[in-house]
Amino acid sequence: MDLLEKLEGLVLGQTTTSEREIAGMWATDCLFNPAQNGRIFKYKFIIAQTQIGQGCAYSSNENYNADCLAKLVGKDCLDNEIKDLPLRVACLDSLCERISFGYEAEEINLNGTSAHKLRARTELIIKEAERLMGDLRGKKVLNVGVVGDIIFQFYNHGCSVIGSDFDPTIVGKHFFKEVPIISGTYTLEALKNVDIAVVTGMTIANATLNKIIAVCKEFGVKLIVFAETGSNMGQFYVREGIDCYLGEIFPFYIFNGISTIRITRDRKL
């Protein structure tokens, strides 16, 4: 069974129809060029608010419009008529906000400019990688869904780093003159030859995370997920085999001010 379908079934069993009713939904253009990134991020992010909480998913779908989203307000957010995967992820994420699967979840607040918070959140990822791997020097790292600052900091820690992405504007390039960016088509093959993978939440919204988890389990690869998409889903995915899940709760680091990172580790409460 697809893991999202499994999560959906679990959530349906723990929520009521009235709790799942959509109170609000927003589709917002994201055009942002963070430091040490190497490209302009160009996505939409979908925010879904239910009676339980608020969830988010990034999407490359350019066809969302106010009339389309307005028709969803007042509906059960897991209604089968909602076919668009990022929309369903945002809705499901909103319901996970208050559901516990029994794993430790630590919340850390970052405060400052987007540039400051970018570095701070990367430091959290590095810290979790060191917790899992010890000394990072010489370790082989794959960043799935390229984030330049993540690549830069692992490279500075003496790692051998590769990035994989579906963005044609960066595939085939070398970040910081040393780090090759391969097509996302080859992600699963590349995973077989690394020690640790740092994966972004976009893999939830494009339905590739299931296979990534399976390959990491088979080849003993440590798996960290950093998620703005599906930021509330950490406990579920840690239960399903992810070693550490860092969920960045909307509003994200790209907005100045306070951002919250929820870190879920493979430790039962």
Same-domain pairing of 124 and 232: yes
Give how many domains the chain has, as a whole number. 2
Look at residue 12 in the predicted model and tell me its pLDDT: 92
Same-domain pairing of 145 and 263: yes
> End of a domain among 38, 61, 96?
96
Confidence of residue 35 (pLDDT cuts 50, 70, 90): low
pLDDT in tens, 94-118: 999 888 888 988 999 999 998 899 8
Confidence of residue 188 (pLDDT cuts 50, 70, 90): very high
Which CATH number covers residue 92?
3.30.390
Question: DSSP letters along 209-224, please?
Answer: HHHHHHHHHHHT-EEE
Task: Decide if pLDDT at 36 tops 70.
Answer: no
Range of the domain at 68: 3-96
Same-domain pairing of 41 and 90: yes
Same-domain pairing of 204 and 255: yes
Look at residue 37 in the predicted model and tell me its pLDDT: 62
Same-domain pairing of 153 and 36: no
Nearest by Cα to 127 from 269, 265, 268: 265
The whole-number average pLDDT for the span 79-100 is 91
DSSP H helices, the chain, are: 3-14, 66-70, 85-96, 114-133, 148-156, 187-191, 202-205, 209-219, 234-239
Does a cis peptide bond (omega within 30 degrees of 0) precede residue 251? Answer: yes
Same-domain pairing of 40 and 119: no
Look at residue 29 in the predicted model and tell me its pLDDT: 87
In the three-class reduction of DSSP (H, G, I as helix; E, B as strand; rest coil), residue 61 is classed as coil
Same-domain pairing of 255 and 156: yes
> End of a domain among 72, 96, 120?
96
Q: Is the model more confident about 264 or about 66?
A: 264
Segment of 84-88, 98-102, 123-127 carrying the highest mean pLDDT:
123-127
